[in-house]
Amino acid sequence: MPGTAEAMPANLTPEYKRAEERLRAAKSPAEKLEALEEMLRVMPKHKGTDALQADIKARIAKLRKMPASKAGKSTFSHMIPCEGAGQVVLVGPPNAGKSALVTALTRATPEVGDYPFTTREATPGMMRFENISIQLVDLPPLSDEHVDPWVFDLVRVADLCWMVVDGRWPLEGVDDTLRILGERHIGLRPIGQPCVVRDLERVVKPALLVVTGVDRPDVVEAVDTIDELLEHRWPMSVVSALSGVGLDDVRRRTFDALQVIRVHTKQPGKPADLAGTPFALPRGSSVADLAVRIHKDLLANMKFARVWGADVFDGQTVHREHVLSDGDIVEIHE
């Protein structure tokens, strides 16, 4: 049982312990699944919790595979629950280098090959950026030959897309990707540009253009002309999974595109655990939003909060409507 006194790392957070209590009280498989997913989300991610993370993930996987009558789900789904600060799906043509990127940036191990259609299933992995993790999902390639419908379902619900194209023929990769997605009423817009939707059936997702293979001389020569030849100006990261060139840039651009802030919490009278994983909230979130994220009952019992951060003086007393900033430390009083 994860979280027992013998196995529990000393720095598990109060949020984790609340979720663990919900697990103990859970009666149905659906309630147990919800509690386990919450435990995994709020757990500090470091070497001391690796074994505990693996145990919880195994239990989550077991519950998800249960028949509908036991797990409370009507049909099997390829949907991948979002973990970390956001979910990013990698879309692009065959042999664009998506799987190699996921391997270089995460601990996931998608099959990588120099032949088309190596990837047949969605493979998630967690990409680290500073003190948070961002979920990358490697998808099968987009092709006129065949694409399973669930691939488009995953694109529709993702927070961000990486449009990954081979630097040797980037224009063809961009055109094919946009066309195939467009046929399924999915549009991509460059990050930072406003979303304009004229077709109510159409979904438009923010996207970053990722050009692979910058370690090859022919790609280096072509990079300067890519932006000029594209019909629209795309924010672009030019990377090499082999040499690591550009990987820090794509991490930073992805974090900025997700538009989240990182907030630490602390207990009254105790120091903040800045080594732990902060909460990732949408920009503009308030103390009330944080309280709900910590636990659904916390907001109802909250009296006030104290905040430490760049936009307040240390320990400033605030109310639930106070808008939080990236890097804030929050102490909620009940």
CATH classification at residue 304: 3.10.20.30
How large is the average pLDDT for residues 149-161? 93
* Residues 110 and 244 grouped into a single domain: yes
* Residues 58 and 107 grouped into a single domain: no
Residue 140 falls inside a structural domain? yes
Among 241, 258, 275, which residue terminates a domain?
A: 258
Residue 1 falls inside a structural domain? no
* Residues 207 and 113 grouped into a single domain: yes
* Residues 168 and 267 grouped into a single domain: no
Among 213, 233, 258, which residue terminates a domain?
A: 258
Residue 49 falls inside a structural domain? yes
In terms of residue numbers, what domain contains 52?
Answer: 14-71
Output the pLDDT for position 23. 83
**Closest by alpha carbon to 27, among 17, 35, 37?**
35
Distance CA 32, CA 41 (A): 14
Output the pLDDT for position 2. 45
CA dihedral over 208, 214, 218, 221, signed as positive or negative: positive
Output the pLDDT for position 60. 81
Output the pLDDT for position 156. 93
Task: For residue 117, give every residue at least 6 positions away whose Cβ sits within 8 Å of its Cβ, in sequence order, or none.
Answer: 94, 140, 141, 143
Residue 7 falls inside a structural domain? no
Q: Please, which pLDDT band fits residue 64 given cuts at 50, 70 and 90?
A: confident
* Residues 225 and 136 grouped into a single domain: yes
Residue 57 has pLDDT above 90, yes or no: no
Output the pLDDT for position 40. 83
**Residue 274 CB: number of other CB atoms within 10 A?**
11
* Residues 254 and 277 grouped into a single domain: no
Give SS3 for 160. strand
Q: Read off the pLDDT of residues 289-328 as tens digits, 9 standing for 90 and up.
A: 999 988 878 888 889 999 999 899 999 999 999 999 999 9
How many distinct structural domains can be found in the chain?
3
**Closest by alpha carbon to 103, among 123, 87, 132, 82?**
123
* Residues 277 and 289 grouped into a single domain: yes
* Residues 241 and 298 grouped into a single domain: no
Residue 168 falls inside a structural domain? yes
CA distances from 274 to 3, 139, 232, 264, 295 (A): 21, 34, 41, 7, 20
* Residues 34 and 137 grouped into a single domain: no
Residue 6 falls inside a structural domain? no
Residue 27 falls inside a structural domain? yes
Output the pLDDT for position 3. 44
Q: Read off the pLDDT of residues 111-129 as tens digits, 9 standing for 90 and up.
A: 665 545 555 688 899 999 9
CATH classification at residue 179: 3.40.50.300
* Residues 236 and 147 grouped into a single domain: yes
* Residues 222 and 121 grouped into a single domain: yes
CB-count exposure of residue 67 (10 Å: 0-12, 13-18, 19+): exposed
User: Mind giving me the DSSP string for 279-300?
Assistant: EEEETT-BHHHHHHHH-TTHHH
* Residues 278 and 308 grouped into a single domain: yes
**Closest by alpha carbon to 51, among 116, 15, 113, 4?**
4
Among 205, 226, 258, which residue terminates a domain?
A: 258
Beta-strand pair 186-190/132-138: unpaired
Residue 78 falls inside a structural domain? no
pTM score > 0.75 for this model? no
Output the pLDDT for position 5. 38
How large is the average pLDDT for residues 171-187? 93
Residue 94 has pLDDT above 50, yes or no: yes
